[in-house]
Amino acid sequence: MSRSSSTIKTECGIILHTVEMAFPAYLLKWLAEQQLRYSYHLFPFSLLISFFIFILLRLINGAWSQKPNLPPFPPKYPIIGNLHQLGTLVHRSLRDLSDKYGPIMLLHLGGVPTLVVSSKEWAKEILKTHDITFANRPHTTAAKLLFYGCIDGAFAPYGEYWRQVRKIFVIELLSIKRVQSFSFIREEEITNMIKKISHLCSEGATINLSEMLLGLSNDIVSRCALGRKHENKDGENKFGDLSRELEQLLGAFSFGDLFPWLGWMDSLTGLIEKIKKVSRDLDTFLDEIVDEHVKQMKQDGSDDKNDFVDILLHVQKNNILNTKFTREHIKALLLDMFVGGTDTTSTTIEWAIAELVKNPKIMKTVQEEVRRMTSKKQKLDEEDIQQMDYLKSVVKETLRLHPPLPLLVPHESSAATNLKGYHVPSKTRVYINAWAIQRDPEMWNNPEEFSPERFSSDLKGQNYEYLPFGSGRRGCPGMSFGLVVSESVIANLLYWFDWELPGGANNEDLDMSESFGLVVTKKIPLHLVPTSHCFSL
């Protein structure tokens, strides 16, 4: 039944009266124009649509007008955000920005909101007070392809599976008892290195200590994890070469990681193919290793746990995790060992020796301790090394000035949260700048100086001004393994040899420039001339 013109006018009047207080004048004028253009039969429908659009806009404007209190942030460009403000040494660039915008700041690296923390107080807030909220890791393009979809311990999402894997690392793989059981491996490999240096020393040669330390670290981890070294035709550690490529790819630039809508660019640049090739090579190599162990266990009829592969096969066989634990899980966890235990350890030793060469008085003090406590033994016992307090302080101070991972492995928020009044959205990446925190002049006297005497802090991350191994749920489980290797190698290098720069160069002129990557190493490898001490091998 058609309605009268007066009825329609009445309905229009009611609707207009309902919105006249909310609609701005310019919109009422537009509505009046529409009334003239359209018949009364169509106008009520048009008016209702306009009303709902207006309410939607008001809701959006209301959301905009109530912006959350975000952490301080520097100006950013469209699309790239704050990427242009990062230099080649990212940890230093972030420290400089933090000096200007505060110890907690929000950057946009491409399309990724990124929280940067540069103080003890804010690190504690993330790693302790809100530990669970920030217990996830972002899944990068390389991590997903190299670690079998992030089923390893480093990148696995926080949850029951990760907790079970963490137990394997802490109890089975990297417990103090297990680390001690591998002492014979460390002693043999360190002895081999000392013999090589002695041979070169007799020829008066200059040695590339950086390269030698990386090879040693790879050999030790290979034997502990895989049971033996796997050398290529040139006598180099085959898995060491592959793990080095893996680490480079983990730190490589990926369009998809910063601009999700540009992920296809990683295929054009060749990054995806490089990652897949290394992944295939690693997978084939690790399959051969696991097959060897399975075959050996069947032949021996034993379930001995002699290395990490044996331990993980034992976990799988006995269903210790009470969940699906496949060969891919085993291979992913083995990769964790190499990423976490090779470059980080060799880099720590490299920086320690460099600092000692640059500070000869400190080197003399620690050498006197090492040589006094060993009493001219033909071999340094790890038990003796544990009593060398000044040596331990040298390692601590090295880790303070030169943390191998200056930006701790990034965290990611699992939900929107409030940090002391600041709103942090869900899926925000979090970088804790351990390098900046450990050089904070409010926490450390003369923070740029190498001074082992300063140390009273522990190494476990409970004092948040010192975080070389992280802290909280995602703290590094390999701390004991890395420390015992670093201390043993440094003690032996100082016990058997004196060290100086080639050509009698001034120690103070030693270049200490950094090269940023997954691990921050010396930009220029450490070349030194060793002089054999009075002991004979």
Give the amino acid at 43. Answer: F
CB atoms within 10 A of CB 244: 17
| CA dist list (Å): 209 to 191, 499, 527 | 15, 11, 6
Is 12 annotated for ligand binding?
Answer: no
Q: Of the candidates 102, 99, 95, which has an alpha carbon nearest to the alpha carbon of residue 72?
A: 102
Cβ-Cβ contacts under 8 Å for 207 (sequence gap 6 or more): 197, 200, 527, 528, 529, 530
The Cα 278–Cα 257 span in angstroms is 19
Phi-psi region of 135 (alpha: psi -120 to 50; beta: other; left: phi over 0): alpha
Give backbone dihedrals phi and psi of 498, rounded to 5 degrees, phi first: -100, 155
Q: What share of the chain is helix, strand, coil (3-state, %, to 5)?
A: 55, 10, 35
Q: Of the candidates 80, 78, 19, which has an alpha carbon nearest to the alpha carbon of residue 51?
A: 19
Q: Are 236 and 215 in contact (CB under 8 A)?
A: yes
Q: Is 200 helix (H, G, I), strand (E, B) or coil?
A: helix
**Can you say which residues are annotated as belonging to the binding site?**
476
**Can you say which residues are annotated as belonging to the binding site for heme?**
476
